């Protein structure tokens, strides 16, 4: 690295002293100018430094020197938004985009974010590079970025304030909609499609991929009908398509006979319909509480609870009476009872003497 020096004044020439020192100074300056003429050195117009072209400047075939005229150090200062060398770096996406646009380089939001992540993972490394430095070095060498310019940039998904508010309010629906219908549709359309899909599949059975596909087609046709009506267009063909898809799914109103109803409803939905239209009658006596569930609840829940809490009532008495037949009590004997008779009762009569 070398600085451009202006020509010496007469007073400065006198101070040089000997001719040999003047010759040395001349040769040093002449060497810098010669290398500049040959293209080995370039002068940065931003900082005024003269530096090696192949290491201090980015490659750019648009220029005769095949190097971008501003040096890497000054570009980095622009990216980090530093006016002085001791300012704290503040690299942002906006500053990176401004510099890349100035250099007519491609911006890829996903790749730049991966560079940010890589820089964050290497915070403890002494010689870590900034995300921008990693990004521009990689995009200069990777074949997929070769020949791309600023007009080929990818900024990722741009969401305005109203759309962001809609995403926050319908985050679950928006996430499910993108997964089901893709992300190539406006958010408003995706929310409409997902809402309609959930409504259809909650009313009718959707048990396989074929039915799922047909319900999705119904949602798309409905969306197109809504848009056509708002624009005052004819919806005859769309209505016909909707009727055909509904016929394939057997969900047309004219198909609401018992067989179609049974095929289109889930078992839980059918039970609900049957209970409303044909409620289950009271069972006969022989079928009432076959397993005596009510009695078991009264004994082992209500009765046991009352027994534990020392409450004397019908349930505690029921519990005691029920448990009586499963209870074994230790026999008790009076003190004056004939123990000999008890022994004989247990082991039999005594052996008589011969």
Residues 191 and 174 sit within 8 Å (Cβ to Cβ):
yes
Which residue range forms the structural domain that includes residue 196? 161-277
Mark which of 90, 119, 140 sits at the end of a domain: 90
Give a yes or no: residue 95 inside a domain.
no
Cα 277 to its chain centre, rounded Å, is: 45
Give a yes or no: residue 59 inside a domain.
yes
Rounded to whole angstroms, how far apart are CA atoms 315 and 318?
Answer: 5
Helix then strand count (H, E) for the chain reads 18, 5
Residue-wise pLDDT tens for the chain (354 aa)? 455 555 566 676 666 666 676 677 777 777 777 777 777 888 898 888 888 888 899 999 899 889 999 999 999 999 999 988 888 889 998 999 999 999 999 999 989 988 888 887 766 555 567 899 999 999 988 889 988 999 999 887 655 556 556 556 567 787 888 888 887 788 788 888 999 999 998 888 888 889 999 999 999 999 999 999 988 889 999 999 999 999 888 887 765 555 555 556 677 877 877 777 766 777 777 677 767 788 888 889 998 999 899 898 988 899 998 888 888 877 665 555 566 666 677 777 655 554
Together in a domain, 297 and 314: yes
Task: Give pLDDT, residue 57.
Answer: 93
Task: Give pLDDT, residue 174.
Answer: 77
Together in a domain, 86 and 47: yes
Q: What are phi and psi of 337, to 5 degrees?
A: -70, 145
Mark which of 277, 304, 338 sits at the end of a domain: 277
Domain count for the chain: 4
Query: Looking at the DSSP assignment, which residues form a beta bridge with residue 43?
Result: 50
Is residue 154 helix, strand or coil? Answer: strand
- Rg of the chain (C-alpha set): 46
Residue with tokens 């993972």: 121
Together in a domain, 182 and 143: no
Task: Give pLDDT, residue 354.
Answer: 47
Together in a domain, 177 and 266: yes
Mark which of 277, 300, 316 sits at the end of a domain: 277
Together in a domain, 79 and 26: yes
Rounded to whole angstroms, how far apart are CA atoms 177 and 184?
Answer: 11
Together in a domain, 35 and 6: yes
Give a yes or no: residue 96 inside a domain.
no
Residue with tokens 């040999």: 20
Task: Give pLDDT, residue 53.
Answer: 86
Residues 307 and 320 sit within 8 Å (Cβ to Cβ):
yes
Is residue 112 helix, strand or coil? Answer: helix
Token pair belonging to 224: 């197109």
Q: What is the β-pairing status of strands 49-52 and 67-71? A: unpaired
Together in a domain, 84 and 50: yes
Together in a domain, 255 and 179: yes
Together in a domain, 225 and 124: no
| Number of other residues whose CB lies within 10 A of the CB of residue 65 | 14
Together in a domain, 110 and 60: no
Give a yes or no: residue 47 inside a domain.
yes
**pLDDT digits 0-9 by tens, 114-153:** 888 888 776 655 556 789 999 999 998 888 998 899 999 9
| Number of other residues whose CB lies within 10 A of the CB of residue 316 | 19
Together in a domain, 48 and 66: yes
CA dihedral angle for residue 90, residue 92, residue 96, residue 102, rounded to 10 degrees: -80
| Number of other residues whose CB lies within 10 A of the CB of residue 131 | 20
Mark residue 104 as left, alpha or beta (left: phi above 0; alpha: psi -120 to 50; beta: remaining): left
Give a yes or no: residue 282 inside a domain.
no
Together in a domain, 176 and 266: yes
Give a yes or no: residue 354 inside a domain.
no
């Amino acid at each position: 690295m070398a600085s451009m020096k202006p020509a010496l004044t007469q007073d400065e020439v006198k101070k040089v002293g000997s001719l040999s020192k003047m010759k040395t100074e001349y040769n040093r300056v002449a060497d810098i100018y010669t290398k500049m003429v040959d293209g080995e050195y370039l002068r940065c117009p931003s900082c005024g430094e003269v530096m090696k072209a192949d290491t201090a400047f980015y490659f750019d075939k648009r220029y005769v020197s095949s190097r971008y005229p501003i040096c890497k150090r000054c570009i980095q200062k622009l990216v980090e938004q530093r006016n002085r060398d001791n300012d704290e770096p503040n690299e942002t996406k906006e500053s990176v985009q401004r510099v890349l646009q100035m250099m007519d380089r491609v911006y890829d939001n996903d790749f730049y974010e991966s560079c940010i992540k890589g820089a964050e993972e290497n915070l403890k490394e002494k010689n870590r590079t900034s995300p921008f430095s990693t990004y521009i070095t990689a995009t200069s060498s990777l074949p997929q970025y070769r020949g791309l310019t600023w007009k080929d940039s990818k900024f990722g998904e741009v969401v305005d304030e109203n759309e962001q508010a809609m995403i926050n309010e319908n985050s679950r629906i928006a996430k499910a909609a993108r997964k089901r219908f893709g992300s190539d549709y406006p958010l408003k359309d995706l929310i409409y499609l997902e809402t309609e899909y959930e409504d259809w599949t909650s009313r009718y059975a959707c048990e396989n991929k074929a039915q799922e596909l047909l319900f999705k087609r119904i949602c798309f046709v409905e969306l197109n009908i809504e848009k056509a009506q708002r624009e005052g267009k004819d919806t005859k063909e769309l209505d016909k398509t909707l009727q055909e898809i509904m016929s394939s799914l057997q969900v047309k109103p004219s198909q609401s006979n018992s067989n179609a109803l049974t095929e289109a409803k889930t078992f839980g939905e059918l039970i609900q319909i049957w209970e409303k239209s044909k409620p289950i009658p009271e069972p006969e006596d022989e079928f009432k509480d076959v397993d005596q569930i009510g009695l078991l609840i009264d004994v082992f829940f209500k009765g046991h609870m009352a027994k534990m809490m020392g409450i004397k009532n019908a349930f505690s008495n029921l519990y005691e009476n029920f448990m009586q037949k499963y209870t074994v009590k230790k026999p008790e004997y009076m003190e004056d009872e004939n123990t000999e008779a008890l022994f004989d009762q247990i082991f039999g009569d005594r052996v008589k003497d011969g």
